[in-house]
Amino acid sequence: MGVLVGRKAPSFSASAVVNGGEIVENFSLDQYIGKNHVVLFFYPKDFTFVCPSELHAFQNKLAEFEARGTKVVACSTDTEESHWGWLQVPKGKGGIEGVKYPIVADTTKTITEAFGVMCGEYDYDEDLNMIANGPMIAYRGLFLIDKEGIVQHQLVNNLPLGRNVDDAIRMVDALQFHEENGEVCPAGWQKGEEGMTASFDGVADYLTNH
């Protein structure tokens, strides 16, 4: 799909593990339309190394996202049973026990592909058997989706590169500031700072005073 910014986030329905251990079917982001902003992030695999550091980092900041009316949702191509099993393993042993936000099981890999973050490609042989070229797992993609279901920000890291959760919060703040005030956010903008009007005069005034 390439760049999704400015476009409707792909719709999906899949099994997910919620509240740290409850498996639900037909989980969808549609439940948040008109109500919440959403940070949807993809990670490569359960029971790996960089991934638990990211999942715990999002959990540690979950109250900050919730205070902003923003839902956090994770997704990988593992099964819901794998997610559930990993959630039973203590943090000190490499697990993600204590993570409460939903973790979607993209076992068909269709969600990962629809969001354009598939690591690996596939083709078909002459007998129409699928042949994978690569691991067929998700890159570290992150998508900020507004209340209308439109993607406003996306970030994709290669497998070895963990993300900065504080910057995801900063992007939520920037989007909400723009929605509430109509002003735009300059480089390095932080919550509580001034924005600027989207005009040459606005830019000139901002640069003169900063």
Catalytic residue annotation: 51
Is residue 65 within 8 Å of 71, Cβ to Cβ? yes
The 10 Å Cβ neighbour count of residue 17 is: 26
145 has which bridge partners?
Answer: 38, 151
Q: Which residues fall within 8 angstroms of residue 81, CB to CB, at 6 or more apart?
A: 23
Q: Please give the Cα distance from 43 to 128 (Å, whole number).
A: 29
Cα separation, 89 vs 49, in Å, equals: 14
| Distance between CA atoms of residues 114 and 40, nearest Å | 13
Residues paired with 42 in a beta bridge: 75
Two tokens, residue 152 = 């406003």
